[in-house]
Amino acid sequence: MTPSAPAAVAAPAVRLAGITKRFGDTTAVHPVTLEIGQNEFFSILGPSGCGKTTLMRMITGFETPTDGSIELAGSSVDGVPTRKRDLNMLFQSYALFPHLTVFENVAFELRVRKAPKRELRSRVEAALNLVRLGHLADRKPDQLSGGQRQRVALARAVVSRPAVVLLDEPLGALDQQLRKEMQIELKRMQREVGITFIYVTHDQEEALTMSDRIAVMSQGRLLQVGSPQDIYDRPASTFVAAFIGSCNVIPAVNTGAPGTVTVAGVGPVPAVGGDAALSGAEVWVAVRPERVAASAVRTPGAAQGTLLEAVYIGDRWRYVVRLGEATVTASVDSAEVSPELAALAPGAPVWLSWRPEHARVLTE
């Protein structure tokens, strides 16, 4: 019996090889090598000016890389103009045609491509049903809410079934509650339509909520790529730890003892990682506030600090504690706060602890 040939591995939706962008003497994007998978929801996250939009513009063809190469679905697009790349874009400004109906806005690209009438109608109706706006096909954009206009723009971006859709801060114009709702909706739509989404944002919650993987950028450099859980629980640097959610970043010294580092004025505290750090080297301990336990009485292995502030916020208490030379925040479930802990006043001693696997030693 002849063995069957191994199944072909699909090429990544996007492959970047050493992509760099310089404007004169300024390097906006340092070399980036990255693969984004088929049907993946991939977010590029970072503060304003970090290079994420420039990176996206190079993928779309709006900017030409200074160095490096770009492939879409295994084919080079170096020198290929934007209109000939199998991708679409969605921006914060939806750029809908005000004189056209919802249906005609979504159909516009297909009409330009001279799609057959039956195929055009079928695709537009499917795209509008995907974003749950089929019943508003005859309305004009000014008759829609902001969230509905955003959905129309998304339907227009996916109607031609491109291999990749790039989204640059598309929820920025919406109010907070609508943004939260649209985060869930965007992920649902991406999963149903089966298209690779590359989402550019500075909003950590958006990236954590929607993404399969996240790339964190700062000052034109790609610092870490991983799943939302990897990025949140196992940050690779102090920047990533501090930028993604809330995090205590505590200066410490690596003493060479496995599983612990030393914090000035406190002594040994548990933490993992940092194997590359030399004994005696300055390091940092990154631990999330919700991973920190607080107690009004001394507990084995806990570090003693001084309470600076206690704030009740409904389902949680937030304790701000001076721990040696550092300030540490503990976010404790209200159901786990003892009467003694709830009664503490600023200046009182308080003991903090965390599990070793919840604290990461960082060397940069």
**Residues 59-113: pLDDT tens digits?**
999 999 999 999 999 999 999 999 899 998 887 677 788 899 999 999 988 888 8
CATH of domain 14-233: 3.40.50.300
At residue 274 the predicted structure's pLDDT band, cuts being 50, 70 and 90, is low
Burial class (CB in 10 A: 0-12, 13-18, 19+), 52: buried
pLDDT at 261: 83
Query: Which tokens sit at 222?
Result: 């790609």
Residue 155 φ/ψ, nearest 5 degrees: -60, -40
Give 66's Cβ-side CA count (13 Å radius).
Answer: 15
Block residue for tokens 């990544």: 12
Domain ranges of the chain: 14-233, 246-355
Burial 112-146, CB ≥16 within 10 A → b, else e: eeebeeeebeebbbebbebbebbebbeebbeebee
Report the C-alpha gap between 344 and 348 in whole angstroms. 6
Query: Are the beta carbons of 145 and 132 closer than 8 angstroms?
Result: no
> Nearest CA to 56 among 23, 34, 74, 73?
34
Give 6's Cβ-side CA count (13 Å radius).
Answer: 3
pLDDT in tens, 26-54: 999 999 999 999 999 999 999 988 999 99
Q: SS3 breakdown of the chain: % helix, strand, coil, rounded to 5?
A: 30, 35, 35
Output DSSP code: residue 355.
-
pLDDT in tens, 157-213: 888 889 999 998 877 767 777 778 778 888 888 888 888 999 999 888 889 989 999
Block residue for tokens 């420039």: 54
Report the C-alpha gap between 181 and 83 in whole angstroms. 32
Output DSSP code: residue 177.
H
Count of beta carbons in the 10 Å neighbourhood of residue 333: 10
CATH of domain 246-355: 2.40.50.100
